[in-house]
Structure 1
Amino acid sequence: MENNNTDRSDILRKALEEIRRLKKKIEDHQETLFEPIAVIGMACRFPKGASTPAKFWKALQSQEDLIGPVPEKRAEYALGGAWEESPFLKEAGYLEEDIEAFDHRLFRFSPREAERTDPQQRLFLKVCWEALENAGYAPDSLRGSKTGVYAGVMLMEYMQQLASERKLTAQFEPYDVSGNGFSFMSGRASYFFGFQGPGITTDTACSSSLVSIDQACKGLWMGDCNMALAGGVNLLLFQESTALFSSLNILSPDCRSKSFDAEANGTVRGEGCGIVVLKKLSDAEKDGDHIHAVIKASGINQGGLSSGPTVPHGPSQEILLKEVWKKAGISETGPDYIEAHGTGTEIGDPIEMNSIIHLLPKERQSPVYVGTVKSNLGHLEAAAGVAGFIKTVLALEHKKIPGNLHFNTPSAHINWSESCIEIPRNTLEWQPSQRPRTAAISSFGLSGTNAHIVLEAYETTAHSQEKAAYTSRKWPFRFSARSQSCIRDQWIAFVSFLKENEDLNMDELSYSQNVSRADFKEKQVIWAAGKEEAIHILETALADESDSIPVDGLWRNSHDIPEAISSEGKNAQEISFSDTIANPDLEQRVFAGWIQGNAINWKSYYRGSGLQKINVPNYQFREKVFGLKTT
């Protein structure tokens, strides 16, 4: 009996020791498991021509008002009768482009399928393509990869219009399912690009896209995916939804979001799409990705039993911010900047702002700036969170805080006297401090789901790869498209880009162009030592409408490759960029091999080069208009 007790005690002791060991192991690995998430790419289509992150940033720092009247084409869908003079329908944040335009051949749609597919799904696909290019990944290079797609969407106006049509025609189309079901928003993108990570579509109303970014972070942390595309889309297809929202008394009759102001009287609707590309920080650094900023922590919760199902709940917002700030390690001071939900409603703004004020230390010396992108482009609903997220990443990267529009007289319902909050009326320099710049983004759903994310500026480490000092050489720029006319579209966009941008480094420009381009039937390369030479080559080629006259520095096909470039020596697929530093002529073999049909892994080719991804023009879609037939 005594031996049994001794054995039992020994077993319990060993079990407790093992539990302590495992607990310590978990604690030691917590920091590794929940390491920062790198933002390595971004793309957007926002109102009034803010169709790239660069154009969006230009509009933000110059404090442009992106609200405008209903586009002429969409005026035919306007509500008549009693709604004809409604102030809520006069203006909104509309895209400049034709939202029914789509490159159906590129995305492998039949004309009929494109017509029956929600323009929101079509736009989401286009912006995913552009986000991958922005991140430095050719959109056709990730088939079979563990890449996730996390999409936010909330309106099904197109599906409702198709349902109305079916009642008249009694015809059922299979494309109405795949083209309009919310699950196909992420599913179609995963299918088209060949991703094998999670494909998840989220509808939490106005917080959908920021919730999607939070879910993408969790997918990366849990190993569900190695890279993720996350964001949301929202289009104002028909005015019935605006009329419906006006019944909730949340829309401004002035069609402006006067967030935090005494005259705030509601929000204004907007449309657009934003996508960010995410990776674990260690993976992004290992892969040599350009890192715009890092996500330190994220979280979501629900308002629960508030005073109404559509009324924001301050205590829940406060709990969420407190938890996320603690995870990010900023609970003592708070962030330097907060991109607020900030709808501009008389109830919502004071609830949100007073919750923030309650959390911030009153003794903080430097101000906490608060703003909202809704003052520029309206409330993008399912895409609102990602719009604020991209704005904040750009602010961190450019070290500036954009001014907030329509803020003149502080709201009397906000407890300003006990806060360290400032609303910037003009764009400010983001002054450095002893710690990296930090920012937080909030997005609160109409149905109560709240999301909050903390970002931090990315500081390059001392051991990062140094770029080699290159001798004078010709730099290659590869172009590929479905046809020669599509190639010419790429040339036109590239020439325009070169003329608009000063101080371009040819090495980084070449690298950025080459890693981000998908392969198509038509493959061409230009060789230029400088910007002016590149412009001259392309303008000479564009002047030849026959596309047949030889142009020095342009390889249109195998016949243009100099005979001196032989197949002897290293196989083109075995050459790396580092091999070309001492012998630049080797690079010609690589690009000759590519034109002749070799599959080149461009990320591997440039690995270790130290070159940084910079902005280059996106692929130029060849679009046709696909819309519902009106009678």
Structure 2
Amino acid sequence: MKKNSRIDRAEILKLAIEEIQRLKKKVNDYPNASTEPIAIIGMACRFPKGASTPGKFWASLKNQEDLVGPIPEKRLAFIPVDTWKKNPYLQEGGYLKEDIAAFDHRLFRFSPREAERTDPQQRLFLKVCWEALENAGYPPDGLRGSKTGIYAGIMLMEYMQQLAAYRKISHDFDPYDISGNGFSFLSGRAAYAFGFQGPAITTDTACSSSLVSIDRACKGLWMDECSMALAGGVNLLLSPESTLLFSSLDILSKDCRCKSFDAAANGTVRGEGCGVVVLKKLSHALRDKDPIHALIKATGVNQSGLAAGPTVPHGPAQALLLKEVWSKAGIADIGPDYIEAHGTGTEIGDPIELNTLIQLLPKHRKNKVFVGTVKTNMGHLEAAAGVAGFIKATLALKHKIIPGNLHFNTPSPHVNWDQSCIEVPQHTLAWQASSTAGMRTAAISSFGLSGTNAHIVLEEYSTEMPAALEKHMDENRKWPFRFSARNTAALQQQWIAFASFVQTYPNVQMDALSFSHNSSRADFKEKTVIWAKDSHELLIILNAAIADKTAVHPIKGLWRNSGDLPQEMRNTAHKETGHFMETQQNTALEQHVFAGWIEGEKIDWKAYYKGSNLRKIDVPNYQFSDKIFDFISGKLGVWQHRQR
């Protein structure tokens, strides 16, 4: 008995020593893990006036377009005429061009009844998450069970309030009113839709919600709570009441323009939209051959504390946060090259923010620090404002261009311009690399009305891309393009969008186009493959497929089902283990891979293209088969109209 006890104690001691060594290693490794840059590998957006993709958004920024406009006519139908015609704050705003009631309920497994009782903000967020995953090169149905986190920002519950008003008159209680409108379900429903098993966290810190969500996502990655993260925010203007409430705070512009940093600044203008970014640790992104748009070097969040008021910006708190984040990013001595400011266009907030920057930035800096804000383009997107500025800064780094700031004519007299190295660019300009700072850097600030401040520093990512493989291959090689949808009508929409893209970019590299399209598409019931050697042939086949509404006529270069496969490939055991690199010497292997996919085999496209060094480019997203679910206008609106 005593002998066994001695053995037990020895074994316990051995295990304890091993555990101590393991923990020591973890502690030693921790500082490196918590400072590793985070790679931005994907992004998607739905912003005002048709800026519905990162490409369209960037074109609007570069061209300095004003995306603020009148209230969409459909939304005026149930607003009392006196309410909006006589109120200057309701005349214009940053409104989405699309119908915000549109939703592909079958794709996201909603019943019609559930869809109509679900906040359009939740519906829009789901769609933009889908598009962000595709942009990152991941099929949205391919991450089920993965340790992917979702971090979402939101602040308004107008739809829930409208449903409550409807329940009072109808006594129609529905359980979907809870799952469709509770803030926790914004992230929870997205995790359910995509099968994620990482953290699902919704944040409401008012205007800083989405940038705080990105900060939370980075911390989740650094702490290994998730291996990949989606982060962003959403904001829709569903009721004029919120605008009237904000106007009572004296922070809205009567001419509905955000004139940030200008002497004529008289408030902000409200806007709506949604943005989502996909994030990974840099080492993991490199390992997985993900596209990398830019790097997150450091993030931080703090609170204004005892300021002049609970909604008043607090310069000392902003300064403390920026110093901490700049120090973590390694730019404390010089500051960033560009700052995407909160810049709401208010008489109090802008001077506090800019004078704080002036105090922090070194007077001896040789290069100017450019400051701008996307709010001058499309208004204040509130819960989605931070991610809008984040995407703008990312695109600016990627393209090495700084967009000009709108409505900046006369510098505000309340800013100490003569003591600063900052400059607000009035026109879009090339971003010259700093000779002292190395890589270009950008910082984004987002200060919530609640007092919660967020700040993030980005750094450009540059790498030598390999020459296009197409140049080293047989010019007659056929490139595959797989299309899948729930039904033939939806399939037609995919073809139409892709044909429009190819027509717009006829000189696109076929290898990059094929890889980018194939690697990011979800699988559905209908499956087709198009084989083409160049964009001209691809466009001919696409147009023929679009024109054939019956879907029965054979089209050369198009596989619509097993019957279109070459005879030798039908009902055979395909080489499922084939990889793209092997097909360079034997293209028949690639035909077997795609024939197997047509016949129902599940293909791991990441594994198939592994080692190819193909370059991910932006391609058209999946075209949603949206239907209109406008419960409030359809029921509550009709009742309100009858009462007048």
* Residue 622 (structure 1) aligned to one of 611, 620, 625: 625
Which residue matches 2:194?
193
Which residue matches 1:583?
586
2:515/2:616 contact within 8 Å kept: yes
SS of corresponding position for 1:279: strand
CA distance in structure 1 between the aligned counterparts of 2:468 and 2:553, rounded to whole angstroms: 41
Quote how far apart the aligned CAs of 1:81 are: 3.7
Deviations 1:178-215 (A, max 9, x none): 00000000000000100000000000000000000000
Which residue matches 2:443?
440
SS of corresponding position for 2:576: helix
SS of corresponding position for 2:395: helix
- TM-score, normalisation: structure 1: 0.95
Which residue matches 1:10?
none
1:465/1:610 contact within 8 Å kept: no
Aligned pairs for 1:225-624 (under 5 A) are: 225-434=226-435, 435-460=438-463, 469-472=472-475, 473-565=477-569, 571-624=574-627
> How many residues are treated as equivalent by the alignment?
612
Quick check: 1:181 aligned with 2:182? yes
Quote how far apart the aligned CAs of 1:21 are: 13
Quote how far apart the aligned CAs of 1:29 are: 4.5
Deviations 1:423-459 (A, max 9, x none): 0000000112340110000000001000000000002
The one-letter code of the counterpart of 2:90 is L
CA distance in structure 1 between the aligned counterparts of 2:467 and 2:34, rounded to whole angstroms: 25
Quote how far apart the aligned CAs of 1:31 are: 2.5
Task: Return closer, same or farther for 1:146/1:21 CA change in 2, 3 Å cut-off.
Answer: closer
1:77/1:239 contact within 8 Å kept: no
Quote how far apart the aligned CAs of 1:30 are: 1.3
The one-letter code of the counterpart of 2:509 is N
Quote how far apart the aligned CAs of 1:581 are: 1.1
Aligned pairs for 1:140-159 (under 5 A) are: 140-159=141-160
Query: Mean alpha-carbon deviation: is it higher for 380-389 or for 620-629?
Result: 620-629
Which residue matches 2:15?
none
SS of corresponding position for 2:569: coil
Which residue matches 1:9?
none
Quote how far apart the aligned CAs of 1:541 are: 1.4
Query: Mean alpha-carbon deviation: is it higher for 543-552 or for 271-280?
Result: 543-552
The one-letter code of the counterpart of 1:510 is S
Quote how far apart the aligned CAs of 1:460 are: 1.5
Which runs of 5 or more structure 1 residues have no equivalent in the other structure? 1-17
1:79/1:240 contact within 8 Å kept: no
Quote how far apart the aligned CAs of 1:399 are: 0.5
Quote how far apart the aligned CAs of 1:502 are: 4.1
Quote how far apart the aligned CAs of 1:618 are: 0.5
Deviations 1:489-539 (A, max 9, x none): 000000000111243000010001101100000000000000000000011
Deviations 1:2-44 (A, max 9, x none): xxxxxxxxxxxxxxxx999988984664123320000000000
CA distance in structure 2 between the aligned counterparts of 1:79 and 1:23, rounded to whole angstroms: 67
The one-letter code of the counterpart of 1:330 is I
1:443/1:450 contact within 8 Å kept: yes
Please report the RMSD computed on the Cα atoms of aligned residues, expressed in angstroms: 1.8
The one-letter code of the counterpart of 1:119 is P
CA distance in structure 2 between the aligned counterparts of 1:622 and 1:466, rounded to whole angstroms: 34
The one-letter code of the counterpart of 2:540 is H
The one-letter code of the counterpart of 1:309 is P
CA distance in structure 1 between the aligned counterparts of 2:330 and 2:375, rounded to whole angstroms: 28
Deviations 1:290-344 (A, max 9, x none): 0000000000000000000000000000000000000000000000000000000
1:154/1:208 contact within 8 Å kept: yes
Deviations 1:84-124 (A, max 9, x none): 31110000000000000001111111111001000000000
Quote how far apart the aligned CAs of 1:247 are: 0.1
The one-letter code of the counterpart of 1:483 is N
2:468/2:511 contact within 8 Å kept: no
Quick check: 1:76 aligned with 2:77? yes
CA distance in structure 2 between the aligned counterparts of 1:465 and 1:567, rounded to whole angstroms: 38
CA distance in structure 1 between the aligned counterparts of 2:607 and 2:421, rounded to whole angstroms: 49
- TM-score, normalisation: structure 2: 0.93
CA distance in structure 2 between the aligned counterparts of 1:268 and 1:389, rounded to whole angstroms: 19
Deviations 1:345-368 (A, max 9, x none): 000000000111100000101100
CA distance in structure 2 between the aligned counterparts of 1:493 and 1:331, rounded to whole angstroms: 46
2:358/2:416 contact within 8 Å kept: yes
CA distance in structure 1 between the aligned counterparts of 2:40 and 2:77, rounded to whole angstroms: 40
Which residue matches 1:93?
94
The one-letter code of the counterpart of 1:555 is W
CA distance in structure 2 between the aligned counterparts of 1:75 and 1:33, rounded to whole angstroms: 49
CA distance in structure 1 between the aligned counterparts of 2:107 and 2:26, rounded to whole angstroms: 49
Which residue matches 2:128?
127
CA distance in structure 1 between the aligned counterparts of 2:192 and 2:265, rounded to whole angstroms: 44
Quote how far apart the aligned CAs of 1:565 are: 3.1
CA distance in structure 1 between the aligned counterparts of 2:456 and 2:587, rounded to whole angstroms: 45
